[in-house]
Structure 1
Amino acid sequence: IGHTLATGRALMDHRAVVLGTGLDGLTEALAAVARGEDSPAAVTGAVPAVGAGGLALVFSGQGSQRPGMGQELYGRYPVFAEAFDAVCAAVDAHLDGYAEHPLRDVVFASEDSPLAPLLQQSMYTQTGLFALEVALLELLRDWGVTPGHVMGHSLGEITAAYAADVLSLPDACALVAARGRLMQALP
């Protein structure tokens, strides 16, 4: 049901979510929605008018990384892949002479790969998370989702600055590469 709603239905002005542990509970909740009655197993509402609210995105800092992060999205959505590759190419250019491996290879390394532990090094962690966050942002934008508010924690502040058009992508890539490299050099 959720897949069809997400990929095959037109967006409607009124929405409902029903919860149940079995067919009977779901049927009962759907019937209550159809009758316009309140139900503890159903939440209904109308989509707010454009500009009547706002979506806020929060970009994370170091610590949320994992080997292979974003790889399925990369294989499925060309917009995600293009944005991810653009960040990786820019970051790799800034880390030339510092990084032994291309960022994309480290981020997409399988857990049993000798490259996987490199994702725990600040230089790769921070640039990898930034690449993932930018690619997710561009995928959302491609779907018509535009944040009204952005913020970030630690490294995520750079992604938020890019999302808010405070930093260009080349400037943000230069900044995150320098940040990761310098933090990597700390004792």
Structure 2
Amino acid sequence: MVRKFLFMMLVLALPTGLLAQQVPGRDPDAPIEIEADNLEVRQEQQLAIFTGNVDAVQGGMTLRTDELRVTYRQDGKGGGADVGGAISRLEAIGSVVIITAKERATGRRGLYNVDAGTMQLEGGVQLFRDENVLTGQTLVMNLNSGVTTLDAGQRGRVKGIFRPDKSKSN
């Protein structure tokens, strides 16, 4: 499930019209490596908290954040009462950055609700690909319906800057 989180967070970083394209370096079967300054596991709350300079890497994708909270459940699908249980929710808090070879997305909080099938990036969201930029406050992707929205909230309007591809001119 962590792999799906990284992939879906990465898909959110793609500008309009690129959502259906393959993400370079995406490999859902690749192992995921998480490094952080600290890890705290709260067994009774079914929660693992990675804090301080968190880097989660899978294949060609990287998620950087201040804190990554992994909520898991003991439903018999992933190994019982340890952190290997089935993941139900992932939350990235503080200076969230998702990077691939061609895309980058930033925000202050990312949330993947596995049970609801939704992904969200919020708080000063910026989506970059080449010189193109989309900005807003909240980006939501419903994985069940395939509908993605970028909302400006009460801070104004959604903004997009799209620059022509200079390599295709002439």
The TM tier, using the shorter chain, reads: under 0.3
Q: TM-score, normalised by structure 1?
A: 0.23
Of structures 1 and 2, the one with the larger relative CO (CA 8 A, separation 6+) is 1
Q: Which has a greater percent of helix? A: 1
The structure richer in strand per residue is: 2
TM-score, normalised relative to structure 2: 0.24
Larger Rg: 1
